[in-house]
Amino acid sequence: MECELIQLPNGIRIVLHHVASPVSHACILVNAGARDEQPGQYGLAHFIEHLLFKRTEKRNTNQIINRLEAVGGDLNAYTTKEYTCIHASFLSPYLERTLDLFEDLFFHSVFPEDEMEKEKGVILDEMASYLDSPEDAIMDDFEDLVFEGHGLGHNILGTATDLQALTKANINHFIQQAYNTNEIVIGISGNYTVKKVRQLGERILGVLPENNNQKNRSGPPASGTRQSSYRKPINQVHYVMGTKAYSVHDENKVGLLLLNNLLGGMGMSSRLNLVVREKHGIAYTVESNYTPYSDTGLFYIYFGTDDEKAAKARRLILKELKKLRERTLGVMQLYQAKQKFKGQIALAEENRLSLIISMAKNLQDYGHVQTLAALFGQIDAVSADQLLHIANELLDEGRLSTLSFVPD
């Protein structure tokens, strides 16, 4: 996972991952997302992401779409609570074309009124589709519950009322305040020299004016647990339990990532899957997840099952959490958990698009790109006592908030 870092005079950083392949991947990542929106403007960051593809000072929608598709490339984007990202995959000769398109979309979009109204309709349809998927909706609603009253506590899509009221002035103000050049990272994975990438970067992106506004982010306040339940026109119970957790900078982050993977992470061999699904045949889906943010985090467990089985599924899960709080992992158990986790991470790096986006996030979060060897070293350093401490700090039933969707 060797890479080179380049910093342009305006603060934009580039991470180059050299790979001798005819296929390249690139991304532009800005440290601006849904948590940076003002009340009454929820959904703005995601709305902007949609509109970036609609018209620029020199390209219309079709020209934007075909700029990479005409040469067999792929272009897409996403928004999270903290980031907005455009990414592309393309053949090696088209790096300049890709970087030029990134620059055009991010810095020269014009946000025409007719496209704004059209895209509002598209996002309203996206909201409706989202509401038809309770297993997805409950995850976001749970985050809203845990972070209520904070910037992290609202859906990325926003609300229909806020969306309809958004204006071009809102868009321009958000971009001016949040799209800071010192918080923009370009990730490139391909068969390029540092010299070539630096030259392209300086010519295409280095001429942009410096913009280093200070972000006004603050962590969520301490709060008690919340328990909520809603009746919905669904066939199964959907249930989430969880709590605030560690930030990306916390010394316990890697330990919780390991613990989460052991408990309900990827693969059929997680403890929750073996007990709830394989042994008792209760739930088709049971999983845990940990999302670290810049100043906090979220850990949760989700399952979906029939109404009459939900109480038993919950008891089985709480029993597994109690084991983690009361029993120190044995030497072999800890070794196996680490080997499984490291193997999954290494396999995930075969997806080079995901890898270069991860590198860009690393640079954004830590100011450097973490090597695979360094990450494996951190995993190896996690002790059984540390996992016991994390389990007792986060997984006690008394500190878990809950949210359920039940059939009406």
Angstrom distances, CA of residue 177 to CA of 31, 174, 181, 375: 11, 5, 11, 34
Pairwise CA distance, residues 320 & 283, whole Å: 15
Tell me the DSSP string of 172-189: HHHHHHH--GGGEEEEEE
For position 224, what pLDDT does the model report?
87
For position 1, what pLDDT does the model report?
56
Strand order in the sheet with 13-18: 3-7, 13-18, 184-190, 23-30, 84-91, 74-79
pTM for this model (two decimals): 0.94
Q: Is the dihedral of CA 343, 344, 345, 348 positive or negative?
A: positive
For position 223, what pLDDT does the model report?
84
The 10s digit of each residue's pLDDT in 251-263 is: 999 999 999 999 9
Say if residues 359 and 369 touch (Cβ distance below 8 Å).
yes
The 10s digit of each residue's pLDDT in 362-375 is: 999 999 999 999 99
For position 131, what pLDDT does the model report?
83
- Domains in the chain (CATH in brackets) are 3-204 (3.30.830.10), 227-407 (3.30.830.10)
> Alpha helices, DSSP H only, in 73-133?
95-108, 113-131
- The label of the residue with tokens 């392949």 reads 21
| CB within 8 Å of 178: residues ≥ 6 apart | 30, 31, 32, 36, 45, 213, 215
Q: Is the dihedral of CA 325, 329, 334, 337 positive or negative?
A: negative
Token digits for 216? Answer: 């006004």
Q: Are strands 184-190 and 23-30 parallel, antiparallel or unpaired?
A: antiparallel
For position 130, what pLDDT does the model report?
85
Pairwise CA distance, residues 24 & 45, whole Å: 27
Per the prediction, the chain carries an average pLDDT of 95
For position 368, what pLDDT does the model report?
94
